[in-house]
Structure 1
Amino acid sequence: MKQTGQSALRVLVIEDETILAMELEDILEDLGHRVVGVAATVPQATQMIETMAHRIDAVVLDANLAGQFASSIADALAARNIPYIVASGYGPDDLRASGFDAPILSKPYHAHEIRDALLTLRRSDAG
């Protein structure tokens, strides 16, 4: 079901598992948002953030990309004031202790959780 009553976000997906990235793209598009890119590695994500920052409204960030913790990506997003959601199988306490300060999604992805997390980003961005 398409999202109504709110403007679409331009979302960058950073996820190393192809099936999960495709599922996430489908969910975001069903919610009425536009996926502006997909990155699967830390270097790829870093490059996309550097070159596309002006076209990104929000990011869904997998906390672990091919065995590499993605805290450097979270730092790059924070430096550019780009809000993000962390997706992970790790617990929230582990993620917060590692420097992630964002709404947390548990895998596998669920549309209502993504919708709620994006609403949280909008509220914190407006405040």
Structure 2
Amino acid sequence: MTGEAATLRVRRILVVEDDYLLAQVLTDFLEQADFHVVGPVGSLEEALALVENEPGSFDGAILDINLHGSNSYPVADALVARSIPFLFATGYGRDALEGRYRDHPRCEKPFDQATLLSVFGALFNNRAA
């Protein structure tokens, strides 16, 4: 296990992804890296309900931006309001993101595992600072 993965050990991550196969691959990878996965959830409504009703059930989140034609910015807003770190997992480039989230951490699809762990490591380290 890399140093970054060890730092992130036993973190609970909410996975918000509407593509079933991608959600399963992401879940498998995260579990192999010693994360506990909450979800995955594939709809805006379900993700918002988890964030609003069970924010203590996870330490961070991965958000797909496009969820069956709706964007996940309301989920991102709810996470920001609760100081829960997250990253966007998206096929969109930086310029396609809404202005307030253009510089937010993201991993472009298809992403590699090392990049994902590195971005999460930076998110959790910044949160502890």
Cα distance in 1, alignment partners of residues 46 and 61 from structure 2: 14
After superposition, where does 1:49-64 map in structure 2 within 5 Å?
Answer: 49-64=51-66
Q: Retained in 1: the 8 A contact 2:8–2:121?
A: no
Unaligned runs of 5+ in 1: none
Cα distance in 2, alignment partners of residues 118 and 86 from structure 1: 11
> Relative to structure 1, is the Cα distance of residues 11 and 100 closer, same or farther in structure 2, using a 3 angstrom cutoff?
farther
**C-alpha displacement of 1:109:** 3.1
**Moved runs in structure 1, 4+ residues, more than 6 A?**
none
2:125 is matched with 123
Amino acid of the structure 2 residue aligned with 1:53: P
Q: Percent identity?
A: 34
Q: Deviations over 1:5-28 (max 9, x none)?
A: 553210000000000000100111
Calculate the aligned-residue CA RMSD, in Å.
1.8
| 3-state SS of 2:104 partner | coil
1:34 is matched with 36
Q: TM-score, normalised by structure 2?
A: 0.89
Q: TM-score, normalised by structure 1?
A: 0.90
Cα distance in 1, alignment partners of residues 105 and 89 from structure 2: 9
Unaligned runs of 5+ in 2: none
Cα distance in 2, alignment partners of residues 27 and 96 from structure 1: 28
Amino acid of the structure 2 residue aligned with 1:4: A
Q: Retained in 2: the 8 A contact 1:71–1:100?
A: no
Q: Retained in 2: the 8 A contact 1:13–1:25?
A: yes
**C-alpha displacement of 1:55:** 1.5
Which shifted more, 107-116 or 4-13?
Answer: 4-13
